[in-house]
Structures are given as C-alpha cells and as structure tokens.
C-alpha cells in the first residue's frame, strides 16, 4: 500500500467560494425546502450502513468519543488559519 499524498491546500479563490456558500443565509423557503425534502432509499441505506460500521468499529461510547476527537484533530490540522 502506498503512503497517502500530502494535502494540497486550495487556493484563495476556492476558499472564498466555499466560505461564501457555507456562510450564506438561506431564506425561510430555501430552509424549509431543504429540511422537508424526502430522504431517498439509497441515502437512508447509506446512513444506516455508516452507523452500523461505526458502532462495530467503536463499540463503546468512550471509543466513539475518542475516534471523533481524533478525526476532528486531523481535520483541524488541514484547515487554513
């Protein structure tokens, strides 16, 4: 197995586009449309499979919390300041 490639940080323009999308304010109608949209069968199955894997991999609440903290720390290392 080869080692992972280093993460290439996105350029300033890409960061600005993502930030604009992430921070935009939704209208009440946009929000309602998003939260009331029905979940597809495939989406539900994928979510249930992910939960089943995670709870098998990390069977106790303490293990799940530790895994979440490690994942967050790893994610935070790759974020721009």
pLDDT tens figures, 32-67: 999 999 999 999 999 999 999 999 999 999 999 999
Question: Average pLDDT of the chain?
Answer: 91
Query: Residues 6-15: what's their mean pLDDT?
Result: 87
Domain positions in the chain are 12-77
Q: Please, are residues 56 and 49 in contact by the beta-carbon 8 Å criterion?
A: no
Q: What is the DSSP letter of 1?
A: -
pTM of the model: 0.55
Residue 8, φ and ψ in degrees, nearest 5: -90, 120
Q: Please, are residues 58 and 67 in contact by the beta-carbon 8 Å criterion?
A: yes
């Amino acid at each position: 197995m080869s080692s992972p490639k280093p993460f290439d940080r996105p350029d300033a323009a890409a960061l600005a586009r993502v930030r604009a999308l992430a921070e935009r304010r939704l209208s009440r109608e946009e929000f309602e449309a998003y939260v009331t949209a029905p979940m597809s069968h495939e989406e539900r199955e994928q979510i249930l499979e992910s939960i089943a894997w995670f709870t098998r991999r990390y069977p106790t609440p303490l293990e799940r919390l530790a895994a979440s903290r490690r994942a967050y720390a790893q994610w935070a290392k790759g974020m721009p300041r």
